[in-house]
Structure 1
Amino acid sequence: MDAIVLSTALTALLANIGLGGGIFEHGVIDHAWPRKPEIVQPRKGGISRVRFWIPAHSAFELVLLVTLYLGWGHGDVRKALLLALAAHLAMRLWSAFDMIPKAIAFEKAEAVDEAAARDWTKRSLMRFPLALLTSLAALAAFGAACGLNLG
Structure 2
Amino acid sequence: MNRSLAELMADMPPTLVAEQLIHKLGIEIKEWSLERVTATMPVAGNRQPFGLLHGGASAALAETLGSLAAGAYVAPDGMLVGLELSVTHHRAAREGLVTGVCQPLHQGSQVGTYQISIRDDRDQLVCTARLTCLLRKRPGR
Same fold (TM over 0.5): no
Higher relative contact order (CA 8 A, sep 6+): 1
Choose 1 or 2 for highest CA Rg: 1
TM-score calculated relative to the size of structure 2: 0.28
Structure (1/2) with the larger helix percentage: 1
TM-score (norm 1): 0.27
